[in-house]
Amino acid sequence: MTVTTLTVSGVLGLCVDCLTLRPDRPRRAALVFVALIAVLTALLPRAAAAAASSWGRAEMVEARLVSAVDATGTGATVALGLQVRLWPGWKTYWRSPGDAGLPPRIDWADSVNLAGAEIAWPAPARFSLFGLETFGYEGELVLPLTARLTKPGDKLDLKAAVELLVCHDICVPAHFDLALTVPAGPAAHAVEAGLIAEAVNKVPGDGAAAGLSLVALRDASGAEGPAVEVVAEAREPFLAPDIFLEGEPGQAFRPPEMRFELGKRRLTARLAMLPPPAGAARVADLAGRTLTATLVDGPRSLEARAVVAAAAPDGPALWPMLGLALLGGLILNLMPCVLPVLSLKLLAVVGHGGGSARAVRAGFLASAAGIVASFLALALAMIALKATGAAAGWGIQFQQPVFLGLMALVVAGFAANLWGVFEIPLPRVLAVLAERGDGGGRLAGPFFTGVFATLLATPCSAPFLGTAVGFALARGPLEILAVFLTLGLGLALPYLLVAAAPGLATALPRPGRWMLTLRRVLGCALAGTALWLGWLLAVSLHFSAPAASQAETARWRPFDLAQVKAEVAAGHTVLVDVTAEWCLTCLANKRLVLDRPEVAGRLNDPSGAVVTMRADWTRPDEAISRYLAGFGRYGVPFNVLYGPGAPDGLPLPELLSAEAVLAGLKKAAGKAGP
C-alpha cells in the first residue's frame, strides 16, 4: 500500500471520526478539521499561478511581460515573453525591419539578478506599401525571451524599458516601463507558459521538423548589381513562400523572384541587393560574405546562416548544345525504340520505286515536318510542365496508361493494315495514319508517320541527347524550344536526305507482288511493338509486374539515397541504375553490359565491396525525378557510381560499355593505376 493510499485512508478515518465526535469534545473536532484541510491541500495538484506584469498601454498598442514559471527554481535561466497587442491594421517590426522602421528594444538596466536576456524572433511577414518593403508583425504577438540569472535560485526582479515603433498610415513610437518579479522557490508552470511555448514554435529553426532545407546560397551578381540565388527544397510542395536575407548593416534586398520545380518541392529564388545608403560602401558581388536566410511558408519556416558560394561557372553555351542536340537526334534513328518505325520508313522508300521525284520529295518533307512538329509539341509541353512546377523529363509520357493504350491501338492498326486485314476502308483516323502518301498528293499520311516516329523514339536515350535535354530543361523556354527543335531536325535528317536526293527512292524497283511479302514481315515487327506496349500498359495499371528472380532481387536493392551515403561511409562502392520497363536502351545496357560475366562478376563481388541499387522510373516517382534533376538529367537510362573516390557520384554514359563500367568502379573505389 502506498503512502498516498495510507494518507487518504487516514484522512477518511479523520473525517469519520470528525463526523461522529460527541458535542462535548469541540477542541478535538477543530484540530481534526484543520488537519483535514492541510492534508487535502498537500495532496491536490498545484494550480498554475499567473506570472505577468501589468499591461502598459499607449496609443494603438499595449504590452506586458510574462513568465513561463511562477518561481525561479534551480535553473540558470527563466523563460519569459514580451506580449504585444496591436490595434487592427497596425504593425510593429522584426529584428531587420526592411526599408523602414525600427525593431523592438528592451533596456533591462534596473533589473536585479539578471545577467542578460536574449530575444528569439518568430517568423516575420512582409508588408509592401508605397514601394517600400518592411518586415514585422501585426495583431498579437509574443517575443520569447531567455533571461540568464546572475545567481540561480534567487529571486528575479525585472525592470524593462520597452521601445516599440508601431505603424499604419503613420508611425507612432511607444514606450513602456514594465516590472515583473519571479520569486525564488520551486518552479512550476505559470498560466502564461502555453502562450510562450506557442511563440517559441513560431521561431524558425533548422527546418528539419518542417521538412524544409536550404540547398544552396550562391552569388548571382551581374551587370545590374549584386544579387543572391537561394535554392531550397520542401518535403511537401511550397504554398506561398517568402525569403528574407540579412547581411551587414545597410544591406537590404528586393523581394525574391521565384521559380519552382519538381512539383513545387524545389524553389530557386533570386534576390537583388538594394543600393546602399549614401556614404555606405558599395559591393560588386556577395561571394564569400556571410548571410542569414529566413524562409517562411505559412506556418513552417527555416533559418540558416551560410557563406555565399561563388557563382557557378557559366554553363555551356547554347550553340554547342544545339550541335549536340542535332547529333543526338540523328543517332536516335539507330536506337532500339525507333527500329519498329524503320518498317514504315522502308515502305515509304520502296513505295516510291519508279515514281516521280516530286512526289518523293513532298512525301519525305511531310514526314520530316511531322517529326519537327512533334518535337515542337514536346517542347511546349515541357515548358508548361515546368511553369506549373511539375516534373518534366524525356519519355515521361510512357508513364501514363492512356498514352500507352492509344499507342498500342495505333501500332496494332498499322500492323493489321500491313497484313491486309482491313479489306474495307479503315476508320478515318486510322486511315489517315496508315496512308503512305505515295504520290497521290495526300500528305497527311507521311506527316503522321513522322509524328508516330517521334512518339516511339521518346523512350530511348542516345549519346548526346541526355546532355542536350538536361541543358534545356535546366534553363528557360527559349532554350527548351531551340534544343527540342534541333533534336527534331536531327531525327528528321534521313527523311531530309531522301527529299534532297529523291533518286535514292525512285531508282528502286517498282512496287509489285514482292511487296506483299515485305509488308507481312514488317507487320510482324509492328505487332511485336504493339504487344510490348500492351505489356507496359498492364504494368502501369498494376495488372502485371516485372517478374524478377530471387537472385536478381537479392543482387539489386531498391534505391535509397540515405543508404547510398551510409554504404560509401563504410568504404563500399555503389552503382545506382535508374531504369524503366519502357526504356529499351536500359534493357540493352542490362543485357549487353551489366549482365556480361566480367561486369556482373565485379558487381557481385562476394566480399560485398560493391552494392547495386535500382531505381524504377516505370511509373511516376517524385523522388527519382528529383534525384535525376540533381545531376541535370531528365530521362533514362542513367547510371551513377559512388564510392570513397566519388562521394558525390560519378555519372556513366547513356550507352554503357564494359570498359566504362569497370573503369568507373575502379575510380569510385579510389584506386589508382590501370
Q: Where are the domains of the chain?
A: 3-43, 56-201, 212-307, 318-525, 550-668
Indicate the Cα dihedral angle 497, 500, 501, 504, nearest 10°: 40
Confidence band, pLDDT 50/70/90 cuts, at residue 10? very low
Number of H helices, E strands in the chain: 19, 23
Give me the pLDDT at residue 529, please. Answer: 81
Whose grid coordinates read 519552382?
260
Give me the pLDDT at residue 18, please. Answer: 44
Residue 1 in this model has a pLDDT that exceeds 50? no
Distance CA 269, CA 263 (A): 16
What residue type is assigned to position 275 of the chain?
P
Confidence band, pLDDT 50/70/90 cuts, at residue 346? low
Distance CA 233, CA 245 (A): 17
Give me the pLDDT at residue 349, please. Answer: 63
Give me the architecture of the 56-201 domain, per CATH.
Sandwich (2.60)
Q: Which fold has domain 212-307?
A: Immunoglobulin-like (2.60.40)
Residue 14: CA count within 13 A, CB half-sphere? 19
Distance CA 309, CA 648 (A): 18
- DSSP assignment of 291-313: EEEEEEETTEEEEEEEEPBPPPP
Residue 561 in this model has a pLDDT that exceeds 70? yes
Q: C-alpha grid cell for residue 203?
A: 521561431
Whose grid coordinates read 527512292?
505
Whose grid coordinates read 547554347?
318
CA 182 to chain centre: 47
According to DSSP H, which parts of 203-278 are helical? none
Q: Directed axis angle between helix 401-418 and helix 514-540, to 10°?
A: 160
The CA-based angle 537-328-474, given to 5 degrees, is: 80
Residue 150 in this model has a pLDDT that exceeds 60? yes
Residue 121 in this model has a pLDDT that exceeds 90? yes
Confidence band, pLDDT 50/70/90 cuts, at residue 60? very high
Helix (H, G, I), strand (E, B) or coil at 455: helix
Helix (H, G, I), strand (E, B) or coil at 123: coil
Q: How many residues does the chain have?
A: 674
Residue 455 in this model has a pLDDT that exceeds 60? yes
- Kindly report the pTM of this predicted structure: 0.54
Residue 659: CA count within 13 A, CB half-sphere? 1
Distance CA 506, CA 303 (A): 71
Residue 396 in this model has a pLDDT that exceeds 60? yes
Distance CA 164, CA 174 (A): 5
Give me the pLDDT at residue 339, please. Answer: 61
Give me the pLDDT at residue 41, please. Answer: 45
Q: For 174-196, write each residue's pLDDT tens digit.
A: 999 999 999 999 999 999 999 99
Q: Is the separation of the CB atoms in 639 and 654 below 8 Å?
A: no
Q: What does R_g of the chain's alpha carbons equal in angstroms?
A: 37
CA 552 to chain centre: 31
Q: Is the separation of the CB atoms in 61 and 90 below 8 Å?
A: yes
Q: Is the separation of the CB atoms in 40 and 12 below 8 Å?
A: no
Distance CA 538, CA 404 (A): 9
Distance CA 317, CA 78 (A): 59
Out of 26-30, 62-66, 307-311, which region has the weakest mean confidence (pLDDT)?
26-30
Q: In terms of Cα–Cα distance, which of 94, 104, 100, 101 is closest to 124?
A: 94
Give me the pLDDT at residue 341, please. Answer: 65
Q: What are phi and psi of 169, to 5 degrees?
A: -80, -25
Give me the pLDDT at residue 278, please. Answer: 67
- DSSP assignment of 625-646: HHHHHHTT--SS-EEEEEETTE
Residue 114 in this model has a pLDDT that exceeds 90? yes
Secondary structure of the chain: what % helix, strand, coil (to 5)? 40, 25, 35
Give me the pLDDT at residue 51, please. Answer: 87
Residue 376 in this model has a pLDDT that exceeds 80? yes
Confidence band, pLDDT 50/70/90 cuts, at residue 14? very low
Give me the pLDDT at residue 674, please. Answer: 44
List Cβ neighbours of 27 (8 Å cut-off, separation of 6 or more). Answer: none
Q: For 565-589, write each residue's pLDDT tens digit.
A: 889 989 999 999 999 988 878 888 9
Out of 122-131, 477-486, 495-504, 547-556, which region has the weakest mean confidence (pLDDT)?
547-556
**Mean pLDDT highest for which of 151-155, 225-229, 565-569?**
151-155
Q: Would you give the DSSP letter of residue 89?
A: T
Give me the pLDDT at residue 342, please. Answer: 61
**Section 358-375 average pLDDT:** 89
What residue type is assigned to position 59 of the chain?
E
Q: Is the separation of the CB atoms in 82 and 61 below 8 Å?
A: no
Q: C-alpha grid cell for residue 354?
A: 519508279
Instruction: Place domain 550-668 in its CATH homologous superfamily.
Output: Glutaredoxin (3.40.30.10)
**Section 239-265 average pLDDT:** 89
Out of 14-18, 255-259, 373-377, which region has the weakest mean confidence (pLDDT)?
14-18
Q: In terms of Cα–Cα distance, which of 117, 189, 193 is closest to 160?
A: 117
Distance CA 256, CA 245 (A): 10
Helix (H, G, I), strand (E, B) or coil at 604: coil
Average pLDDT, the chain: 82
β-pairing, 132-138 vs 125-129, is antiparallel
Residue 379 in this model has a pLDDT that exceeds 50? yes
CA 399 to chain centre: 20
Q: For 493-533, write each residue's pLDDT tens digit.
A: 988 988 888 876 666 556 566 667 777 877 787 888 888 88
Q: Do domains 56-201 and 212-307 have the same CATH topology?
A: yes
Q: Is the separation of the CB atoms in 117 and 107 below 8 Å?
A: no
Q: C-alpha grid cell for residue 605?
A: 563481388
Q: C-alpha grid cell for residue 119?
A: 530575444
- DSSP assignment of 324-348: HHHHHHHHHTTSGGGHHHHHHHHHH
pLDDT, greater one: 672 or 357: 357
Residue 429 in this model has a pLDDT that exceeds 70? no
Strand partners, 553: none
Buried b (16+ CB within 10 A) or exposed e, 616-639: bbbbebeebbbbbbeeebbbbbbb
